[in-house]
Every structure is written in structure tokens, then in C-alpha cells.
Amino acid sequence: MTGTPAGAPADAPRPNRHARRTRPTTRRDHVTEVQPLKALDGRPLTLVHVQGRHPPTRGPVIVVHGAGVRAELFRPPLPRTFVDALLDDGWDVWLLNWRASIDLDPVPWTLDQAAAYDHPAAVAHVLDATGADRLKAVVHCQGSTSFTMAMAAGLLPEVDTVVSNAVSLHPVVPRLSTFKIGTLAPLISRVTPYLSPAWGDRPEGVVSRLMVWGVRATHPECRNPVCRMVSFTYGSGRPALWSHANLDEATHEWIRGEFAEVPMTFFAQMNRCIQAGHLVPTGAVEALPASFVARAPRTDARFVLVAGRDNRCFLADSQRRTFEFLQRHRPGRDSLHVLPGYGHLDVFLGRRAATETYPLILEELAR
């Protein structure tokens, strides 16, 4: 018998044990505090601490953006963002602006510097601020490659779970991207030290005007100049980082303010990584090993590898290869999720992400 609560009339609606006791947290409820910190080489970074309607009931999660964007990437104008979902699940949310962030002064960074200097400093800051001795990480794209380098090098022993989106140890890109990054990028780096999708709205000089003109001619898929520049800069799709069907209008417009400089130093390193089939250090940073794939990663953390099946920036094979690598070294510990209908960033920015992708990530974080 499923029963009715004692004393309640038989026709009263039964209380749903799973119903939320309060309304869900939305961006309006966020209390945001930007905390400055210094990377281990002295570079200024920030951590954005976000609190919701209720104090956290679980430990800290650090959330790490990709190249040429910023911590706000995870708070698009959706009714329910990934940050809302983390807060409602009780996590203590820390969004990192590492040296690739467009909220910081532009600098010619490499993945090595982020791995050796930024992520260890950020993790130490969060542990110190919260009093926790472990934390979890959700890392995206180049936030993920650099974080995985740090994990593999044994620099982040306090991190026990890493949810990685798009790419981690093994970058695999479409053939056109191999040409763009291998042939076009070295030519571009002779005339500009960085590329910026923001040029779509605000070109800076002759080179950027020419590039925007070329991109306009080859990317007829939409009328948003930054969206088209993003596709030129980061992949081979039209668009490259999401499907238009997955973005609502407000988010598609919002991205115009969310993409800016990415230095050619990054493309040079990523080109070598793509040629090698796995991440390759520059050799300029001592704390990192000569190879990230010659031995088992120096971490006991569990990796949750997420890939949009339609990703045209890094193919889903990127995460498949890293999963196979991890399986060889420590079978059964890690997991791989290939998401149909998703690409690169719509995993976080998609109009249906709140019901289609966030629950999977929350479930893995809570495991």
C-alpha cells in the first residue's frame, strides 16, 4: 500500500518527497565575491566565489574556463545556469580566472604556465579559504588540458574528482583545423601576437579588418560577427563551438561580450600537441615532466570525461583516447560520456543543458 499520510484526507495531493522545498537559485540570488590571488610565478589571477540562497552543504568545486574567455562563461543569460545547478546541489562554487582569462591583462601564455603556476595556486587558495582538504574540479577545453597536465604531473594531489569537457590529454581536431593551426596560424603569428573574436564587433587595425572580411565571406551561417569569428578561431564548424539550434537568442547575443584575445603562443603549442596526438610540454617550465603519456598520471583522482558527439573544435575522439589511456593504466576508475546532440560549449550554454547535461555532471560530482 502506498498510503496517505495519517490524518490527511484521501483525496489530498500526496507530498512529493523529491519536490524542492524552496524555489531554485537563479543568477539574481548569487552573492559574488572576486578574490585576487597570485599564480606561483607572480601573475595576478582571480577566483570568483559564488554563493546562492543557502550556505553550501558540500565541499568546494573549482570551475575552469577555456582559452580567450573568462569565469563568467558559466553564467550565460539562461533561466538556469551551470552555476545555479551547482549551488542548488549544495556545492561551494569557485570560478577561476586563470591567465587565459579576458578579465585579466592579456599575456602570451602557454598551457605549461597554467599547469605549473595557475592551477596549483588556485587550488591552494580555495582550500585555504574554505578549510577543506580536498576539492573537485569542472574543467573545460584549455582549462581542461592545462589542468590535466597539472594532475598528470602530480601537482594537484588535493583534487579528487575532475569532470573534463571536450579535451584533456589527447587533442584530436577536424582535418581543416589541422591545416588552419599548422599552416595558417604560423603565418598569422607573423603579423599579430594574438587573435580575437571580439574583432568581429571592434576590429583593431588592418590585419583584423582583413580577417573579419575573410571570415564574413566564408561563414554565412549567422549575422553575429563574434560568433563567426569564434568559429574561424577555434574549429571547423559553422558554427564551431555550438549548434545554433542549441543556443537561445539571448545567449547567442551574449557571447559577443565573452570572447577576446587568445595569444599565438597557445596555438603554437596546441599545433605541436595535435601533431603528436597528445599534450606536449614546451620544455620551458621545470615542474612538468618531459612527457605526459609515457607513464601513469601521478594522481588518484577520478576523471569524468565528457564530449559532445558533434564537437567540431575537438572531436569526441579526443576524450575517447584519453579514456583508453586511463583505462590502460587504472582500469575501471574513470568514466567517459559522449553526449549526442551536443558540441563544444553548448554542453554548458545550451538552452536545454539544465535538463540534459548538468544532471550528468552533478551526478558524477556527487559519486
Binding site for Zn ion (CB under 5 A): 222, 224, 227
Instruction: Tell which residue, 7, 35, 170, 8, has the closest CA to residue 96.
Output: 35
110 or 236, CB closer to Zn ion?
A: 236
Buried b (16+ CB within 10 A) or exposed e, 9-47: eeeeeeeeeeeeeeeebbbeebeeeeeebebeeebebbb
Give the Cα separation of 142 and 148 in Å (integer). Answer: 9
Residue 238: CB minimum distance to Zn ion, A = 9
Question: How far, CA to CA in Å, does 49 sit from each of 63, 92, 136, 260?
Answer: 10, 8, 15, 23
Report residue 274 as a C-alpha cell. 595535435
- For residue 246, the minimal CB distance to Zn ion (Å) is 11
Tell me whether residue 259 or residue 303 sits nearer to Zn ion (CB atom): 259
Q: Which residues partner with 62 through β-bridges?
A: 94, 137
User: Is the Cβ of residue 102 or residue 229 nearer to Zn ion in the bound state?
Assistant: 229
- C-beta of 194: minimal distance to Zn ion in Å? 22
**Min CB(228)–Zn ion separation in Å:** 7
Q: Which is nearer to Zn ion, 60 or 239 (CB)?
A: 239
- Identify which of residues 113 and 243 has a Cβ nearer to Zn ion in the complex: 243
> For the chain, how many helices (H) and strands (E)?
14, 10
Shortest distance in whole angstroms from residue 219 CB to Zn ion: 9
What's the CA gap between 38 and 157, in Å, rounded?
20
**Closest distance to Zn ion from the beta carbon of 221 (Å):** 6
Contact call for residues 155 and 79 (beta carbons, < 8 A): no
In terms of CB distance, is 184 or 222 closer to Zn ion?
Answer: 222
User: What is the distance, to the nearest Å, from the Cα of residue 157 to the centroid of all Cα atoms in its chain?
Assistant: 20
